[in-house]
Chains A and B, each alone.
Chain A
Amino acid sequence: MQKKLNLTEFNSDTLALVRQIIKRYPEGRQKSALLPVLHIAQAENNGWLSAETMDYVASLLDLQPIEVYEVASFYSMFNLQAVGNCVIEVCQTGPCWLNGAEELLAHFEKRLGIKPGETTPDGRFTLKTVECLAACGNAPVIQVGTEYHENLTPQKADVLLDKWQEENKISHTNPYLL
């Protein structure tokens, strides 16, 4: 398992971005910036939100830490536990199921040697199941960071996995830099 460095503070560029986001809301409504800022913080903290990270976000937005915890724990995209470098999220809802999502998931499990919710011992991959990703016409679908991969088959999944192995794929990047 690679050592996870916890984020301490945003750099000046990221802080400028946060300030710009806060300006989108009326005076005193900076709490509205919470979801965008949590997305950024998670990306900067190796793909998950530690208590320290959430406390830092609370201080940035002038909120009580509990206000951040209760929100972070509500939304499924926020990881409250450490994850691997590359998080693979496999859709399992009806339309994807009709098009072979179960076989696809089984293939990922076999290739990676882990079950959904687990991380490979080398810390490279985490496997997750997720609900409908709004891409049902191109089922089955997976999400990796901000990327969608659609019309997947086990063969196509192998090609992707080989590539990600080789480049040591990191799926958590600041989505505002897209």
Chain B
Amino acid sequence: MATQILLNNIDVPGLANFEVYRQLGGYSSVVKTLKNLTPDQVTGEVTKSGLRGRGGAGFPAGMKWGFIDKKSEKPRYFVCNFDESEPGTFKDRYIGQRNPHQLIEGMILGAYALGAGSAYIYVRGELFYVLRIIEKAIEEAYKQGFLGQNILGSGYSLDLYCQPGAGAYICGEETALLESLEGKRGNPRIKPPFPALVGLYGCPTVVNNVETIAALPWILNNGGEAYAAIGVENSKGTKLISACGHIKKPGVYEIELGLPVEEFIYSDEYCGGIRNGHKLKAVVAGGSSVPILPASLILKTAAGEPRLMSYESLSEGGFQSGTMLGSGGFIVMDETTCIVKNLLTFARFYHHESCGQCSPCREGTSWMEKILHRIENGQGTMKDIDLLVSVSKHIEGNTICPLGDAAAWPVASAIRHFREEFEEHVKLQKCPF
């Protein structure tokens, strides 16, 4: 069994209650840290741990904290990104719903390291019931002296609040999230300046994903080195993978980074293989935004090496033959799946979610959806396939935020690896599935 840092107690009944969580050793990292460590020492441990942001971009957490403007006279903020909207991703909800205190414990550690006096957890509006579970846990933490004025007599004070979104994938992009938290439309900001200098209300701010924050208590309890001892290369520690699609056992799994993809898909400890006796056709390994790979390339790299669940191995081969770990949303498709139709649902998603600020993204996502709709419904031409590639190229790299790239990559990769299937739709003038 792999080391369980995030899910070790997830099935304990009543875990969302303070008493139960505390009895299992919960909040001990806060007791220890506030007594023994300076904020900079906390950042030091996190840097040593090699923990990378689990929201999708994989940016080293300790390094990001190091960018926070500590010379500024302005208040600093720590914000948790609980927007979880990337198709295929459903890991943060699992933590929030079952183990809210672990998230709160991590928020206290992060806020302390950054010197933040207020922190917010931005939860997608659809998950209001999870927001309420967290709010009740926050109330308990206040009552027990882990939040509020002068926490455990340390002199450090922190207020923690939840904030709902209201249905907008783009608010997962950190600057759109901050706009939304200010009560505005979720339009991403032009960067730089980055939030560490100019964030919430123009103040120095760090935004981290739920899973990143939930790993902090373990790191502070066991030390950064212990965390860095797990994993491979620059993929340290454990990662939650939310697996869905045509597998026997969909769900959220905590893996040690470096697990072979083949083992993840086929072993009974994880996905349990492809259901209904079908064969694996393709995988989208890190949420809808990352390139799709056919079975042959997800199990082994183009060089014939076994593919591992790690930042490095999944991206081995670049966009020609690799993909990305992304958010850990692992979508598995068997041979009955129409790649064009699946892509059409993604294209519709990105068109729906584009904030509309940049014309390549606003117009391009609309075109890609239309063209794919045409091809899927038997009205496409061979030229349409090249047109799709061309539109995706015109979006990529030409937008304010990475949503444009996220919309372009799935299209480009599906055509790269499954071109015959698009051509078949055109030749038959209908969907072959």
| A-to-B contact residues, CB < 8 Å | 24, 26, 29, 31-36, 38-39, 61, 70-71, 74-78, 92-95, 97-99, 130-139, 143, 146-148, 175-176, 178
What would be 28 A-B contacts, judged by CB atoms less than 8 Å apart? A24-B120, A24-B163, A26-B118, A31-B183, A32-B181, A34-B183, A35-B125, A35-B164, A36-B163, A75-B167, A75-B168, A93-B87, A94-B88, A97-B341, A98-B331, A130-B126, A131-B349, A131-B352, A132-B88, A134-B84, A134-B90, A134-B127, A135-B93, A136-B244, A137-B90, A147-B129, A148-B129, A175-B164
Decide if B244 touches A134 in the complex (CB within 8 Å): no
User: How would residues 117 to 137 of chain B score, 1 for a CB under 8 Å from any chain A CB and 0 otherwise?
Assistant: 010100011111101100000
B163 proximity list for chain A (CB < 8 A):
24, 32, 35-36
What distance in Å separates the Cβ of B107 from its nearest Cβ neighbour in chain A? 14
Decide if B349 touches A178 in the complex (CB within 8 Å): no
B246 proximity list for chain A (CB < 8 A):
98
- In the complex, the 5 A-B pairs of residues with the closest C-beta atoms, listed nearest first: A75-B166, A77-B167, A76-B167, A31-B183, A34-B183
| B-to-A contact residues, CB < 8 Å | 75, 84-90, 92-93, 118, 120, 124-129, 131-132, 159, 161, 163-169, 180-186, 201, 242-246, 250-252, 284, 288, 329, 331, 333, 337, 341-342, 345-346, 348-349, 352-353, 355
Docked CA distance A71–B184 (Å): 6
Please report the number of residue pairs spanning A and B whose Cβ atoms sit closer than 8 angstroms: 152
Residue of A nearest to B249 (CB): A137
Decide if A175 touches B182 in the complex (CB within 8 Å): no
Docked CA distance A92–B169 (Å): 15
B184 proximity list for chain A (CB < 8 A):
31, 71
Decide if A136 touches B90 in the complex (CB within 8 Å): yes
Docked CA distance A131–B86 (Å): 10
A135 proximity list for chain B (CB < 8 A):
90, 93
B346 proximity list for chain A (CB < 8 A):
93-94
B167 proximity list for chain A (CB < 8 A):
75-78, 130
A134 proximity list for chain B (CB < 8 A):
84-85, 89-90, 92-93, 124, 126-127
Decide if B166 touches A178 in the complex (CB within 8 Å): no
B352 proximity list for chain A (CB < 8 A):
76, 131
Cβ-defined partner of B245 (8 Å) among A70, A95, A133, A148: A95
Decide if A175 touches B128 in the complex (CB within 8 Å): yes
Docked CA distance A94–B84 (Å): 16
What distance in Å separates the Cβ of A7 from its nearest Cβ neighbour in chain B? 18
A78 proximity list for chain B (CB < 8 A):
166-167
What distance in Å separates the Cβ of A68 from its nearest Cβ neighbour in chain B? 9
Question: With A136-B90, A137-B242 known to touch, is A75 a contact of B165 (CB < 8 Å)?
Answer: yes
Q: A132-B288, A137-B242 are known contacts; what are 20 more A-B pairs with Cβ within 8 Å?
A: A29-B182, A32-B183, A33-B183, A35-B165, A76-B166, A76-B167, A92-B348, A93-B288, A93-B345, A93-B346, A94-B288, A94-B346, A98-B245, A98-B246, A131-B85, A132-B85, A132-B349, A136-B242, A146-B128, A175-B129
Most chain A beta-carbon neighbours within 10 Å: one of B118, B126, B164: B126
What distance in Å separates the Cβ of A154 from its nearest Cβ neighbour in chain B? 19
Decide if A74 touches B186 in the complex (CB within 8 Å): yes
What distance in Å separates the Cβ of B346 from its nearest Cβ neighbour in chain A? 6
Docked CA distance A35–B159 (Å): 20
What distance in Å separates the Cβ of B361 from its nearest Cβ neighbour in chain A? 15
